[in-house]
A and B are shown apart, each in its own frame.
Chain A
Amino acid sequence: MPAAAVERPDFQIVPRAGLPVIAVVLLLLIVAIAVNETWPLMFLHVVAGAAWTIIDLFLGFVIGPILGRLSIPARVELTTRLMPKMVLIMPTVVAATLAAGWQLATKLDYTLTSYHYHGWVVASFIVVGGMAVIALGLLEPANIAVLTEIKKPTPDPEVIQRLMKRFIYTAGATGLMQVATLVIMTRLATG
């Protein structure tokens, strides 16, 4: 069935209703960094980091394979409801995890080269850097491009399929890298 014939729910590529929530999260992040207290920094780092990890693993290994087997109308339905939310959620949780994490690490002296597990901290930078490159360079562009394509009066099914494949593969790749993050973070947490 050509995608043009598929009924598409009306949607916004960037859901405006979510913008105030994002603004609040970013404001909380700035306040947490400014006051430099351990608990708010830990809270934001753990909550945002857990969200990032869980979403990556869930998208890459649960939703991705399911999405690939759905009929085109069901795929379009799920995509137009799920992916606009990802446009807002993913950059926000990534920014919150990194900013709160760096501030926390600095406060706890984990960034000092004299820290016993500094090698593990640097390893976490490398893994997160790799994930950021994949997420920002491939996954996020594919996410926005597929939504833009679906919004067109006559979407090209081949373009949608190609971009969705890219989205799912990159989500799977970052999901695998998240396992490495879990190993490093649990190692650091247990000392």
Chain B
Amino acid sequence: MSEERRLPPVTQLGMLSLSLIVAAVIYLSAHLPKHVPLGPAIALLSVSGLLLVGNVASLRRAESFAWGRFLEVARWALLAYAIIAGLIEYVFLRNSTSGGPLIVLTLSLVVFALTVPVLIAFTVARYDLAPSARDGST
């Protein structure tokens, strides 16, 4: 499918971003409720967040991308994953997580709740290109 070759590697970068954010949450969870050195978690969160921003930025430059379909799917997926992230946040709050670890966890969950909808919406929209863009596809 020639049209896929013109699209940036959103899935690959999204998977990397998701892996880093999951690693950050595992790192924090493995230390809580004791004091956690936040440096590694902040580093993982920062790289993951940058990958997410870079991913969307590179996608914005893609030609013939079905943005209508992308946004249609992304908003419902965002609703679903915001609920899931909210539930996870609630569990940490319930167990008196506070201060720096809570901020890093919250931001990690925000990146998580944005990354998954991007991956879902991209996977749907990449096969929904305009008919003219599909010419020459296998």
Which A residues are closer than 8 A to B by beta carbons? 14, 26, 29-30, 33-34, 36, 91, 94-95, 98-99, 102-103, 106, 111-113, 122, 125-126, 129-130, 132-133, 136-138, 140-142, 144-145, 148-149, 156, 158-159, 163
Contacts and interface: CB of A to CB of B under 8 A. Distances in A.
B43 interface: no
Nearest to B123: A141
Contact of B33 (A98, A103, A112, A156): A112
Interface residues of B, number: 40
B53 interface: no
A-B interface, 8 closest residue pairs, ranked by CB to CB distance from nearest: A141-B123, A129-B22, A145-B123, A141-B120, A137-B15, A125-B26, A122-B30, A145-B124
Contacts of A136: 18, 116, 119
Interface of B: 1, 11, 14-15, 18-19, 22-23, 25-26, 29-34, 69, 73, 76-77, 80-81, 83-84, 87-88, 90-92, 94-95, 116, 119-120, 122-124, 127-128, 138
Contacts of B32: 111
A149 B127 contact: yes
A26 B127 CA distance: 33
A174 B18 CA distance: 16
B84 A95 contact: yes
7 contacts: A30-B87, A95-B87, A99-B88, A111-B33, A122-B30, A144-B124, A148-B128
A29 B19 CA distance: 26
